[in-house]
Structure 1
Amino acid sequence: MIEVRWAVPTSVERVFAVLADGWSYAGWVVGAAHIREVDPGWPGTGTRIHHSIGAWPVAVKDVTKVLDVDPPRMLELEARLWPLGAARIRFELEPTADGTLVTMREEAVKGPAALLPEAVQSLYLVPRNRETLRRLADLATRQGTL
């Protein structure tokens, strides 16, 4: 799995609150363009976010499903983007003296993207996931968010 870490100067609970708000995903997940629906009970295991990825007019509609969750410490997702495939993404939140260390791990698990060597996937995923975590941190630390 490709791993990126980001220190966030706020509590684990505040960071997890952003992860638990399915409607916020288009605001911090790089590439997510529009959230169409969030299943009741998100982020419970098996619930989904119905989203679009990419820019109009070529946006692709698909879903992201919760595979496992341990609030407020961990959230594991399967993000689909057919015809490219699907990825397993795991967020782990660890309290630190200065806030929270967020670790994001991602790997392509289905489709053509899963055939690419990890080194090739890293060329795209590391910068994308750093920006994703930067945006997540911005939302979690914004005054008045919670």
Structure 2
Amino acid sequence: MAEVSLNVEAPIDDVWAVLADGWSYAGWVVGASHIRDVDSGWPKPGTRIHHSVGLWPLVVQDTTEVVRCEPPLLLELDARLWPVGAARITFTLHARSQSLTEVRMAEQVVRGPSAFLPKFAQDIVLIPRNKETLGRLDALARGRSVPFH
């Protein structure tokens, strides 16, 4: 399982607000290029984000489904990208203080051809991608916590 973490300088509720906004995913999830639709009730278990991944014209359309949701502490997703496969992604949030949140992102390929790659090969791709994803999440969460003037 590829796992990364980042301390985000924002309250846990602001970090959760980004995770709970399915329409924001193309803005911070590396590889997501377009959100086509978000099921009503997102992020309740069973709801999905309908997304596109890749650069035009080589775009794959698929979905990401919520497996488990415990606001504002945990969001577990089943992210599909066929024909490559599917991954289980878990975001865990821990309030370190009123203005600092530790975010952990764990990803494991669970289905499809990519699941047969050795762990070290998956980590070579997933760890840098997920570090960048958390960096983008950080920027959006910090932006939410800045007072409007």
Q: Same fold (TM over 0.5)?
A: yes
CA RMSD in angstroms, aligned pairs only: 1.1
Shift of 1:2: 1.0
Deviates more, 1:90-99 or 1:26-35: 90-99
Unaligned stretches of 5+ residues in structure 1:
none
The within-5 A match list for 1:15-30 is: 15-30=15-30
Q: Kindly provide the CA deviation profile for residues 48-90 of structure 1, in whole angstroms up to 9, marking residues without a partner as x.
A: 0000000000100000000000000000000000000000000
The within-5 A match list for 1:1-146 is: 1-97=1-97, 99-142=100-143, 143=146
How many residues are aligned here? 145
C-alpha distance in structure 1 between counterparts of 2:11 and 2:120, whole Å: 33
TM-score using structure 1 length: 0.97
Q: Against the structure 1 CA distance between its residues 144 and 44, is the aligned structure 2 distance closer, same or farther, given a 3 Å change threshold? A: farther
> Which residue identity lines up with residue 109 of structure 1 in the other structure?
V
C-alpha distance in structure 1 between counterparts of 2:147 and 2:103, whole Å: 21
> Which residue identity lines up with residue 11 of structure 1 in the other structure?
P
SS of residue paired to 2:46:
coil
> Which residue identity lines up with residue 121 of structure 1 in the other structure?
Q
TM-score using structure 2 length: 0.95
Identity %: 57
- List, as ranges, runs of 4+ consecutive aligned residues in structure 1 with deviation greater than 3 Å: none
